[in-house]
Amino acid sequence: MTRDDMTLVRDFAATRSEAAFAALVDRHIGLVHTAAVRQVGDAHLAEEITQAVFLILARKAGSLGAKTILPAWLYRTTRYAAADALKTRRRRQAREQEAYMQSTLNGPDAEAVSRRSETEAEWRQLAPLLDDALAELGETDRAALVLRYFENQTVGEIAGALRLTESAAQKRLTRALEKLRAICVKRGVTLTATVIAGAVTANAVQAAPVGLAVTVTAAAKGAAVAASVTALVKGTLSLMAWAKAKMTIAIGAVAVLTTAVVLNWEQDIEKLEQNPPVLVLRPTQFPNGGGSAGWSKRGSKTIKQMAVNATIQSLLVSAYSFVQTRTVFPDDLPQEHFDLMITVATNRPDLLLQGEIKRQFGLVAHREIRETNVLGLKLHHTNAPGLQISKGGRLSNSGSFSDNQFTMAVSNQTFARFASELEQYVGKPVTNRTDLNGSYNFHLRWKWPTLVSNTWNQAAIEQNQVAVEQALRDQLGLELVSTREPIEMLVVERVK
């Protein structure tokens, strides 16, 4: 049985096991070396960067937490090392980084790759900006993409690494890939998410030069290394320390505290637990963040919560434990994005958030039954291939994205539950009007809309609804019929 990364890291940290370290090097040297080549455009310098990265791993092995996702940590460290190497070389040779990138793409190694790859043209567009684009993503989004497309891990393996359900991990991957595509579009590369995924999978990691793994392992064991590698290790560690310092934000007294505190805004549950008791809701200081959140639970209750670069709409539905498709918002909501942290000792952080939203924005919400435009889920025809009576088993809901197609697989669910799952894809309330009882398995596939700058505007929502409706008829024998029904809605309004 293959030992997981952090077991090997702990083994090396405890016993300096050469076998454990050699296994880590063998497993990840391709990722590190290929990323280094792509970023500095020089095979010799990339080998020095690779040595430096694994030397840093050897030094820091004892301080890495159990929840560390090693491929993502190595990729991030490679980026720091490459940045330091380029800075040093620019000082010495006064050359542009882009020139190095272009020389790599035009060199014999890139030509050999292009002969093996069916995505040559796309990769030539993508390679020069891939690493900068990944750096703009949040840590969890970047880790998900590295695991999937650099390390070729399954969704189940990624779910385990990120401590998510498979459904949540797939949604995280889909959103992260779309964010990466949107960043590329802003930089003039208009490739689809599917093409980006294929190009990265085929090209992002190549085999390291023969003998490099032996050199790296020997260096970690204590063998002499070049002075340039030693300097690179020192410079990279300084950059890593500076980056970590920038992730802690000093803020003034807020809500619960009356003195200044230092908070860690890394989107990690362990880091969230380590913060002092605060309630912070402020304009975002992470405009490139992914709008994602972390939380800590006790049983089924959320007791600590954090969100980065979130909309006021998402904060409101979180505060009132409702769904956005069944929420009525006023027209004059703030358009800015916000950061949220609640680490106060309470079983009801939702009440604290409700109070803070009321204090800052004058917004409150209540539930009421309203006659509302909804989509009624009805039976269109029988014996559809994708609709089957469940034979038991666990309840599950997963989604996967491939070739610009989204696949939704729901097992052992009632029609009422399936209707509620559809709401997030059609942007409207969906109610069950099939009169069918019992549990079913639902398998549905449709074309995913092309988003602009990762934004679900009205056009994208309508495009997706049409695709879902067609798939429901053809594959499940179901239809969505527009109607008006009295349903429970969350009504947001300003304090009078």
Range name among 188-192, 336-340, 352-356, 465-469 with the lowest pLDDT average:
188-192
316 & 341 share domain = yes
Shared-domain flag, residues 179 and 263: no
Both 69 and 163 in one domain: the answer is yes
- Cα atoms found within 13 Å of the Cα of residue 404, Cβ hemisphere only: 11
Do residues 132 and 213 both lie within one domain? yes
Give residue 182's domain range: 5-245
Instruction: Pinpoint the alpha helices (H) of 204-305.
Output: 212-221, 227-246, 269-274
* Average pLDDT over every residue of 287-296: 62
**Using a CB cutoff of 8 Å and minimum separation of 24, what contacts does 290-295 make?**
290/137, 290/138, 290/140, 290/141, 290/175, 290/176, 290/179, 291/337, 292/138, 292/140, 292/141, 292/267, 293/267, 293/318, 293/340, 294/267, 294/268, 294/269, 295/269
pLDDT tens track for 274-287? 778 888 899 988 87
Question: 15 and 97, same structural domain?
Answer: yes
DSSP letters spanning 360-398: HH-EEEEEEEEEEEEEEEEE--S--TTEEE--S---EEE
Helix or strand run (H / E) with residue 7? helix 5-15
Whether 261 and 324 share a structural domain: yes
User: How confident is the prediction for the chain on average, in pLDDT?
Assistant: 80
Residue 367 lies inside a defined structural domain of this protein: no
pLDDT, position 12: 87
Q: Say yes or no: 321 and 443 in one domain.
A: no
The phi, psi pair for 329, rounded to 5°, reads: -105, 150
In a domain, 297, yes or no: yes
Q: Are residues 415 and 339 in the same domain?
A: no
What pLDDT is recorded for position 289?
Answer: 66
What single-letter amino acid sits at 110? A
Extract the tokens encoding 37.
Answer: 């080549």
* pLDDT tens-digit readout, 39-52: 888 888 888 899 88
Q: Which strands form 478-494's sheet, in the order they lie side by side?
A: 327-328, 478-494, 363-379, 430-432
Last residue of a domain, one of 361, 386, 411: 361
Q: Confirm whether 204 is domain-assigned.
A: yes
pLDDT classification of 240: cutoffs 50, 70, 90: confident
Q: What is the 3-state secondary structure (H, E, C) of 452-484?
A: ECCECCHHHHHHHHHHHHHHHHHHHCEEEEEEE
Domain stops at, among 342, 361, 380: 361
Based on the domain organization, do 224 and 238 belong to the same domain?
yes
Secondary structure class of 63 (helix, strand, coil) = helix
155-187 residue pLDDT tens: 888 988 888 888 888 988 898 888 888 888 887
* Domain co-membership, 467 together with 356: no
**72 and 211 together in one domain:** yes
Task: Give me the number of domains the chain comprises.
Answer: 3
CA dist., res. 300 & res. 323, Å (int): 18
Q: How far apart are CA 285 and CA 45, in angstroms?
A: 35
d(CA 134, CA 146): 9
* Residue 366 maps to a domain: no
Same structural domain, 97 and 184: yes
Residue with tokens 């798939």: 471
- Domain termination residue (choose one: 361, 381, 413): 361
First and final C-alpha spacing in the chain: 64
pTM above 0.85, yes or no: no
Domain membership of residue 52 (yes or no) is: yes
Residue 134 lies in a domain: yes
pLDDT at residue 329, as a whole number: 94
What's the average model confidence in pLDDT over 361-372? 93
| Dist CA 440 CA 452 (whole Å) | 35
Q: Domain for residue 390, yes or no?
A: yes
State which H helix or E strand residue 36 sits in.
Answer: helix 18-40
Structure tokens at 325: 């498709």
Residue 468 maps to a domain: yes
Residue 93 has a pLDDT of 52
